[in-house]
Amino acid sequence: MEYLREVAEDVSPRDRIRNWDEFHTPMPEDQLQVQGARCMDCGTPFCHTGIEINRMASGCPINNLIPEWNDLVYRGLWEEALDRLHKTNNFPEFTGRVCPAPCEGACVLGITSPPVTIKNIEYSIAEKGWQEGWITPQLPKERTGKKVAIVGSGPAGLSAAAQLNSAGHWVTVYEREDRPGGLLMYGIPNMKLDKKKVVMRRLDVLQAEGVTFVCNTEIGKDLPAEQLMREYDAVILCTGSTRPRNLEIPGRELKGIHFAMEFLTANTRTVLEGNPTPDYISAAGKDVIIIGGGDTGTDCVGTSLRHGCNSVTQLEIMPKPAESRTPTNPWPEWPKVYRQDYGQEEAAAMFGDDPRTYVTTATNFEGDEQGNVKAVHTVQVNWMKNEQGRFTPQPIPGTEKVIPAQLVLLAMGFLGPEQMLLDSLGLDRDGRSNIQADTEEYQTSLPGVFAAGDCRRGQSLVVWAINEGRGVAKACDRFLMGKTDLE
């Protein structure tokens, strides 16, 4: 009631697209304490509920003790605030950067005023911990002798590894890429989450605590899955949801049309190596069309701008969101309102407008004589109910356009985990091809084999993956020891 919401200033869009550095600037401690004071310490806080309403997160999925550490920051007790934060979140430096903050969408203050800057405070607590040397390797007091193999080193795999290692088990994490981190390493661009300064420092701590990482090893291909089951007391699958949704329209076979993650992964590898890798895809001097919205589409926009693209257009089949909550989107649901993420903000600064074109879909790709894509044919759509009562997009005659493009990136989401490993183990799957396992025991149809993260729940947020990693660690510990003290 006494203080206005303030957030840290970012490096200006025109300046930050010149490099791959993180562009968020720290906020002074006195200002952060004022922002912490805005928290009302609600008798019934919704910010840490972690429930789903209308298939969207409301409140923090890992149940962060938000009012507690907000108050501790307000009182200047930073180390105590870090302790509270680590009780529920293994990697606050990650979520403080890349989480969309469903906690803020459920903030009680947000009913009538701008919500508390929870995400910025979380980020600042974590960075203060690293700067002050409070985050150090914490070795388990004793070892159980039990061995656990984790397949996949994304946020679910890493949080499971951290928890099981703290319980005293020997944990080995297998990763098919050349570096551990999964989505955190190769799925999120460097300007959102710095790999060497942020991701690697946490991986170094995990290794110092006793977690073993084995890279360049794809289970089911380089190493038989059956071997893991023989050599380990338990196996946890955290392979993610990595099968991209394709767009089967005429011209899909043309050169210059790529899945978004091919583009983003090769770019991050190039940034890390310092030179273009063989799979590098350049947007320099090209008209880029990105099909699909969401975080992945935004990351493609920001990456293309840093390459020096000639133009960038983002096709979004859904209608443009309202400027503020509508009656059908009440608090504490996630606010489905119009907002510009960093990529759209940068494109607007460079080209004068938000790059998104709403209620528009591609109908076919046009190529040149050499088999390269040169244009995308589009049409606007109207969402109407079909005979089954479901809303489907119907093309609007007369709204057809042809947009020049020498690079097309498909960012339409993911269909589930890759099936080869699942087939080799004979695991049961749900109707969406995800691994069948509940949220209590995380046990698959194969005894001693567990699943967590996007390969179990489907494509989701990093914070949900951390939640699942902690949950499966608890279930696995109980399976190994008959009981568990993990939270």
For residue 418, the one-letter residue type is E
Residue 312, beta-bridge partner list:
288
pLDDT tens per residue, range 129-140:
999 999 999 999
The arithmetic mean of pLDDT across residues 149-167, rounded, is 98
Instruction: Give me the mean pLDDT over the 157-176 stretch.
Output: 98
- 2 band by pLDDT with thresholds 50, 70 and 90: confident
Residue 415, pLDDT score: 95
Point out the least confidently predicted range of 228-242, 264-278, 384-398: 384-398
CB 140 within 8 A of CB 148: no
pLDDT band per the 50, 70, 90 thresholds, residue 1? confident
Residue type, 410: L
Report pTM: 0.95
**pLDDT at residue 387, rounded to an integer:** 86
pLDDT bucket at 212, cuts 50 / 70 / 90: very high
For tokens 């990351």, name the residue.
Answer: 299
Task: Name all domains of the chain by residue range, CATH numbers in brackets.
Answer: 13-131 (1.10.1060.10), 147-242+415-481 (3.50.50.60), 257-410 (3.50.50.60)
**Omega before 332 cis (within 30°)?**
yes
Helix (H) / strand (E) containing 53: strand 51-53
Residue-level pLDDT at 389: 86
Percent of the chain residues past pLDDT 70, beyond the cut: 100
Q: Over the stretch 256-312, which tens digit does the pLDDT of each residue have?
A: 999 999 999 999 999 999 999 999 999 999 999 999 988 999 999 999 999 999 999
d(CA 330, CA 325): 7
Residue 55 has what pLDDT?
A: 86
